[in-house]
Structure 1
């Protein structure tokens, strides 16, 4: 059977040895953050050009939704295989190649002459982005000490939201001014510079071992894929968190994809204004993600179970506010509720990833993050925008968006189930050493 080689360098006493100086660490963060901005710029700008594509090609809402969902579907299917390749070939080289692929694929979207060509180019965007979240998170987790892990990973994840904001704003503004093709050129080209700089400034690292010698010195281990699977899904709280995290992340994907069109159709905003107002909603998503993990850490000091209860509350509040926002007639109250729901829609992200890391073996943390990306893609970001488009074709977009918050309610229940087992799973993980 094929095996995965895992190596880790440790100091005496078991503390992980991290690379380089503070300046180096923050350089890695800056470049990694820049690439995740580029990642989501490329991924989400398409939502801002929906009003332009629909009359040009005469496509349905479900077809428009598929342009968003195909990226998440390919990311979900390919994230684990490509993460394994990245571990073997090298994370820095892999990240560099990924960035070139998604940037050129985004530019290809602007050259598409048919819906089918656009769909294929969007699939290639997903292929390029498939392993970046996992590889980037693993690289940052190694570069920064454990005490800063939650904050750094939460900030890294928030780059996806802020990249989405920029994608919506830039995509809508450029499409309105110069045409929809130039929107893809504008968001695809800047990432090429970061792809060139990344391997110049960032060093790779060796992946951690499953076993450690009695003296604490690093040794080579051979971790079978069956053992990887067992370790990743070893805890009940972790499994519930995988599902909850995936479902709830479908809500930000739906908002980013469809809110510009919702404002265009139901608030009668011009596409440019609709994109700008939608960007405010997406920006609020990022604020919630940026600070949600910190709030959860603060509330869970001395009470670890609260780290799981807080994201359950986030999901519940988000679901109720968004349901009310789309159920009410368009107006100021609905807009305030929409912004409030967006604030909590992605706030669970840092807590969920931290929970997964807390209850799993350090040797499989890179695979855990890849599996979390898989769950997000297959449970939330891939089906969410497409199903909303499908329901919109059957009824209308407002009705479809009113139904979508059911995902948040399901996520809240799953986080509550995770909270039931979380402390016991942490104790078992610590006892295992």
Structure 2
């Protein structure tokens, strides 16, 4: 599989955005929708899966947390290295086919061991979807338009989650939870087959400046034909850059909340708030689509607007949004009824995800174009291994532990224990803003 650069399909120079860029963004966005839809089906259909296979909250946490995160995060690194040196579109297409086939296998599983094997295979495939897509989009959209483009792309998770809730819960209610996994996996296989015909590989760094800057500079433009980036050199540069490390850590700690809540919210609402599967298919889907989708879209717009004034906005926007989200989160967990809980959940769903577009855009602009896939994979490694690995695993284990003394509300207590995590995430993003501000001050004094 060799790299193919097609000049006629390359994005136009300057600040304009051509049709091919929007087509590429649309296709990659839809693949991300399927990516997150496949991933979220487990949390959406947790209760019928529990009832059918008699698995615990802790086992659910392992399936959606540590088992998934281990494969997802560490496979993303070699996949990122491969995509930086080959055709990124083909990497995305093959990855989509792998995770979709694994989703079908999950629907056919008969016990926890088979569920775990299928889930890890889903993670194996999904590891190749997002990092190459970040880099493809960055090479289709010029600086100053990337925050919005990546914000649109990052609408994939809320749309995927909302569609998963609506269709997954509806299919499960009408037929069975197995049919939901099989149907959605089949759609993904078809999309994987047609992707290379719709998206062309853009030239790496084609819309960046002509000079090459150091890897730790705020913006690292590229030569017209960038050399292939070394694996260990890229990793060393990434972890030697305090801006990239803090952005990854802040995002990872934030994801402890988002994945911890996201993997158990439906089970929490059904088991402890009295919600039914049909209610989930309609009302919870709307809350996720409006809240998470609106927050991610708004964050992309605000990033493009405020980072033109100061790069500290990459850190301050997530810090501010998480500070506002915290009281809404506490109220959501406390709410005595599911309708009130859903209304209050709009707050954290809207505000919890400002970090995503911010950190992705910051990392993509912080490194050389030929390091973007690998650097995106390293970002995902850190933030997903912390967030995805710890969040669901911890919440599930905590719920099992609290059930011995509080059988009626063990998940509620487990979710309350995520409150200090918000404070740590806010502190990390404020620290990041100080590091960026010091760098800007040093550069201005030169």
Is this a same-fold pair by TM over 0.5? Answer: yes
Relative to structure 1, the CA distance from residue 247 to residue 269 in structure 2 (aligned partners, 3 Å threshold; closer, same or farther) is same
Query: Aligned residue for 2:436?
Result: 422
Trace 1:32-431 onto structure 2 (pairs within 5 A): 32-69=28-65, 70-207=67-204, 218=224, 221=227, 223-283=229-289, 284-330=291-337, 333-395=340-402, 396-425=410-439
Structure 1: any 5+ residue segments left out of the alignment?
A: none
**8 A contact 1:9–1:208 mirrored in 2:** no
Task: Give 1:313 deviation, angstroms.
Answer: 1.0
**8 A contact 1:169–1:275 mirrored in 2:** yes
- The whole-number CA distance in structure 2 between the counterparts of 1:406 and 1:281 is 24
- The whole-number CA distance in structure 2 between the counterparts of 1:23 and 1:326 is 45
Task: Give 1:135 deviation, angstroms.
Answer: 0.4
After superposition, the C-alpha distances for 1:377-418 in whole angstroms (9 at most, x for unaligned) are 111022211211111111111111111233222111000000
**8 A contact 2:148–2:304 mirrored in 1:** no
After superposition, the C-alpha distances for 1:342-392 in whole angstroms (9 at most, x for unaligned) are 210112211222233344444422222111111221110222112111111
Q: CA RMSD in A?
A: 3.2
**350-359 or 33-42: which moved more?**
350-359
* TM-score (structure 2 length as normaliser): 0.86
**204-213 or 108-117: which moved more?**
204-213
- The whole-number CA distance in structure 1 between the counterparts of 2:12 and 2:377 is 21
For the residue of structure 2 that corresponds to 1:414, the secondary structure is helix
For the residue of structure 2 that corresponds to 1:269, the secondary structure is coil
Task: Give 1:8 deviation, angstroms.
Answer: 10
Relative to structure 1, the CA distance from residue 66 to residue 81 in structure 2 (aligned partners, 3 Å threshold; closer, same or farther) is same
**8 A contact 1:28–1:201 mirrored in 2:** yes
**8 A contact 1:32–1:136 mirrored in 2:** yes
**77-86 or 351-360: which moved more?**
351-360
Task: Give 1:217 deviation, angstroms.
Answer: 6.3
After superposition, the C-alpha distances for 1:30-66 in whole angstroms (9 at most, x for unaligned) are 1111111111111111112111111222111011122
Structure 2: any 5+ residue segments left out of the alignment?
A: 214-221, 403-409
Count of residues in correspondence between the two structures: 423
Relative to structure 1, the CA distance from residue 49 to residue 219 in structure 2 (aligned partners, 3 Å threshold; closer, same or farther) is closer
**8 A contact 1:175–1:182 mirrored in 2:** yes
For the residue of structure 2 that corresponds to 1:348, the secondary structure is helix
